[in-house]
């Protein structure tokens, strides 16, 4: 049985038809063996008044006379079907096996003339019909909700939670909050400062909320700050704190003067949504049957942090009968994670042993993503067919391939403070790592998806991104496909930089007027020459790129002088520059400095002045 809520208008039509003497809801089932669909009126049918409604495409539909069906002289409903039963072009038919209903008027019987005949809007008859129809429509909607709440594919929210309880499962809620802190100092670091994992920090206000860093980072020599990810030591929403609330370092680190969190903490993984819970329950049903590949996937996906797309089951009954290979990639683990990994391996062994088909051997490879800068994983031991153990867990270092990503974020406005630049960089790095961690086994990394995630960050105007497998030369702005079907991307060298550094260049030139430039008024000709030079310099800076003709660009007076177009009225004999970094409030005292073009800067001409003029 299928139940679909009916709209208010159909109930109004039913009531008005019934109150004024028509026939209401003469029902049929749309099955070939039920044809022909002949109406049974008490008097000749008024064919122009026939209305048909039913379920089409899972929704209640009012069918169209002449397009979806016709009424013949024998009062039969003729659906617009082809010989094979499919609908004709443009026609809509009821769902197979569903019921459809017909309302119509007839010529009536003299002894059964209706007492109510006024159907016009505002009449008592219509007002009564619409009043009752509203209650019917509300009740129909409620029944539709109850019907959908009983099925795994249509239940949502609390109803889906109740179905999960019947299967012995529960929705996964958000865990501990996570975020990042910035360790900083007022002067450039004289040497590398190690920021060990497990460093405890807390909020400045009472009661303090404790956090600890989950990865080791370093504040490099010459830098002012470094960012490290943190995780709350208290579960639930207690770990959610606003930006700049963390300011206490529990154990001093030599060389670190201040700490703060540029962004509010949040749950690293939110509560499980309906789609994810529904997929997990489907796997639970498959697991209940056991002895299938679906059951194996469902069992292994019950390990915390392991998603369905992190599991790959492969079998070749012809080349390797009786053997199933399973690849499982685990979520990132803390630095001292070997005991946890051992426990996961034991749990996986138990799940496979209780789920696998009898007489079938299983070779399982489990691996967590390699830590950046960490030791190389040990080589896998043994060939797949060695040994006779029914279930074997071996090292799976080949399940991951590192991906390098280099990103430059162009901010929406100039003049960002150091804290704002750090916050933007942290958000960009989090987006890149989240993009890579979201990929499953054998899943491609789509370049445009990465760019879209970065562009969605608040305060980002433009993005320049490159990604490629570590150590692989070639195009760096394309999708990445894993070399092996059982491989998943892992974060390699991740570099996120914030561009938009405003560099102001004041230019002084010495020019020599010639030709028409010597015709009076000379002062006006000199000013026109300066304006032309300024316009050319602005165009040169706008067209700058980090690489030209295969080599890096260094902005010098000679470079600018060489780019100027020779004019008929003047010659540029000398050009000198003075540079100031506006964001940092720094003016370079050295005259004519060489400025490497990295793509992070926005060069701007401040002024063009006349140094001196040589006579013609």
Distance CA 302, CA 295 (A): 11
For 255, phi then psi, to 5°, come to 100, -10
Question: Residue 574 is encoded by which pair of tokens?
Answer: 């000398």
For 46, phi then psi, to 5°, come to -85, 100
For 407, phi then psi, to 5°, come to -130, 135
pLDDT for the residue 383: 43
- Judge contact between 308 and 283, C-beta under 8 A: yes
For the entire predicted model, the pTM comes to: 0.53
Pairing state of beta strands 361-367 and 323-329?
parallel
Which DSSP state fits 86? P
Find the angle CA(274)-CA(276)-CA(327) to the nearest 5 degrees.
Answer: 170
Question: Angle at which helices 293-300 and 338-355 pack, to 10 degrees?
Answer: 150
pLDDT for the residue 615: 43
Chunked mean pLDDT (size 10), the chain, 616 residues: 83 90 91 90 89 91 93 91 88 92 83 73 90 92 90 89 84 80 90 87 88 87 89 85 92 89 81 80 73 81 81 84 86 65 81 84 81 47 50 68 88 76 88 89 89 90 86 79 82 84 87 87 89 91 68 82 88 90 67 80 85 54
Domains and CATH numbers, the chain: 8-149 (no CATH), 177-267 (no CATH), 290-395 (3.30.70), 400-498 (no CATH), 501-613 (no CATH)
pLDDT for the residue 384: 45
**Chain center to CA of 557:** 46
Distances (CA, A) of 579 to 500, 506, 507: 16, 6, 9
For 575, phi then psi, to 5°, come to -145, 130
pLDDT for the residue 377: 43
Distance CA 579, CA 594 (A): 10
Which DSSP state fits 366? E
- Judge contact between 48 and 55, C-beta under 8 A: no
pLDDT for the residue 380: 37
The residues near 220 (Cβ < 8 Å, ≥ 6 apart) are: 189, 192, 226
pLDDT for the residue 614: 46
């Amino acid at each position: 049985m299928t139940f679909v809520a009916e709209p208010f208008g159909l109930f109004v039509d039913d009531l008005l038809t019934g109150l004024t003497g028509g026939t209401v809801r003469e029902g049929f089932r749309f099955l070939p063996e039920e044809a022909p669909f002949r109406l049974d009126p008490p008097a000749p049918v008024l064919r122009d008044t026939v209305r048909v409604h039913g379920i089409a495409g899972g929704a209640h539909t009012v069918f169209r006379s002449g397009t979806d069906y016709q009424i013949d002289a024998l009062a039969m409903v003729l659906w617009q079907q082809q010989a094979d039963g499919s609908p004709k072009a443009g026609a809509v038919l009821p769902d197979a096996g569903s019921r459809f209903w017909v309302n119509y008027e007839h010529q009536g019987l003299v002894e059964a003339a209706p007492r109510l005949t006024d159907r016009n809007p505002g009449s008592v008859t219509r007002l009564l019909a619409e009043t009752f129809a509203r209650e019917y429509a509300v009740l129909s909607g409620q029944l539709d909700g109850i019907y959908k709440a009983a099925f795994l594919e249509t239940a949502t929210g609390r109803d889906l939670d109740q179905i999960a309880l019947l299967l012995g499962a529960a929705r996964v809620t958000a865990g501990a909050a996570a975020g990042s802190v910035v360790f900083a100092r007022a002067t450039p670091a004289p040497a590398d400062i190690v920021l060990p994992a497990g460093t405890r920090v807390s909020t400045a206000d009472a009661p303090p909320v404790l956090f600890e860093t989950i990865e080791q980072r370093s504040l490099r020599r010459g830098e002012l700050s470094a960012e490290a990810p943190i995780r709350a030591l208290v579960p639930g929403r207690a770990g959610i704190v606003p930006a700049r609330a963390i300011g206490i370092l529990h154990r001093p680190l030599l060389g670190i003067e201040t700490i703060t969190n540029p962004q509010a903490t949040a749950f690293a993984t939110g509560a499980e949504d309906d789609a994810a819970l529904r997929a997990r329950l489907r796997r639970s049903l498959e697991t209940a049957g056991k002895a299938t590949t679906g059951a194996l996937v469902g069992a292994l996906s019950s390990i915390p942090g392991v998603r369905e797309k992190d599991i790959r089951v492969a079998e070749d009954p012809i080349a390797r009968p009786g053997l199933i290979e399973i690849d499982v990639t685990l979520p990132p683990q803390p630095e001292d994670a070997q005991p946890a990994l051992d426990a996961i391996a034991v749990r996986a062994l138990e799940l496979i042993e209780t789920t696998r088909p009898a007489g079938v051997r299983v070779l399982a490879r489990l691996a967590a993503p390699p830590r950046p800068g960490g030791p190389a994983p040990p080589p896998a031991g043994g060939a797949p067919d060695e040994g006779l153990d029914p279930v074997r867990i071996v090292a799976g270092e080949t399940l991951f391939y590192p991906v390098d990503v280099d990103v430059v974020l162009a901010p929406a406005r100039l003049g960002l403070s150091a804290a704002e630049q750090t916050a933007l960089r942290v958000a960009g790095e989090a987006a890149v790592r989240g993009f890579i961690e979201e990929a499953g086994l054998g899943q491609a990394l789509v370049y445009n998806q990465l760019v879209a995630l970065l562009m969605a960050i608040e305060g980002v105007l433009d993005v320049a991104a490159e990604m490629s497998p570590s150590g692989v030369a070639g195009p760096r702005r394309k999708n990445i496909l894993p070399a092996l079907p059982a491989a998943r991307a892992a974060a390699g060298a991740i570099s996120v930089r914030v561009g938009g550094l405003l560099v102001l260049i004041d230019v002084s030139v010495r020019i020599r007027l010639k030709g028409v430039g010597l015709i009076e008024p000379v002062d006006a000709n000199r000013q026109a020459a300066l304006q032309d030079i300024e316009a050319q310099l602005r165009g040169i800076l706008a067209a700058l790129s980090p690489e030209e003709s295969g080599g890096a660009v260094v902005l010098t007076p000679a470079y600018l002088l060489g780019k100027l177009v020779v004019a008929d009225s003047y010659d540029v004999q000398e050009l000198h520059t003075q540079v100031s970094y506006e964001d940092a409030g720094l003016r370079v005292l050295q005259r004519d400095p060489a400025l490497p073009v990295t793509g992070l800067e926005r060069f701007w001409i401040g002024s063009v002045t006349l140094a001196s003029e040589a006579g013609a």
